[in-house]
Structure 1
Amino acid sequence: MEFQLQPDIAHLFAGAAAAFMRTHADSVWLNKKGDLWNELWTSFRDADTASVTVSFEAGRLMMNVWGTKHVWRDEQTRESVKAQLRPQWIQQMRAGLAPRGGMIL
């Protein structure tokens, strides 16, 4: 999945992803997907251009981050980041799942 965004938005998402990972560090579910969570976090953390690319599997985890309000510094930040990322995410999820007969968002 590839996302077009400003680097500051990428870094805000990375911060929220890191907070999400810290708050769920003791969960079996997160630990089973640790490599994917690290890919997601580091890809957004290290963004220095107008695009960020993550695997489809890592991208699927993004909704967990913007859906968890307490990992964001404030609601305005969460809504701003979500406004840039979520439409692109939905479009790519539809494209990635539809050919395999998966769910349509």
Structure 2
Amino acid sequence: MRASFPILIPALVALAGCAQFPELDATVTEEARAAPAPELVDNSVVLGPASEAILDEETQADMEARAAALEARAEAASGPVISPEEKAELLRRAAALRAEAARVAQES
């Protein structure tokens, strides 16, 4: 049963996508049904002005400084979360717990 559970969820979602919703269909007016399909337009009308934007020197310098600060923060955050000494202590304690668990399992 456990192996089929991950398959069951996507199958149920897919089946729900095939459902009919007459209440929703009833809300569409005849005028809306008869309307022509919307015209698709080239997105360069929207993207064109953005690609032509020119930054002045002050804005460019501000953005470069912000990018450098963000890169420095990312570099600082990418270091180890715990020190090597803390890691060694955690590993030592984990080994001790495993040994204790093995001892308890042998006794029972």
What is the TM-score with the length of structure 1 in the denominator?
Answer: 0.22
Structure showing the higher strand proportion among its residues: 1
Which of structures 1 and 2 has the larger relative contact order (alpha carbons within 8 angstroms, sep 6+)?
Answer: 1
Q: Mark the structure with the bigger radius of gyration.
A: 2
What is the TM-score with the length of structure 2 in the denominator?
Answer: 0.22
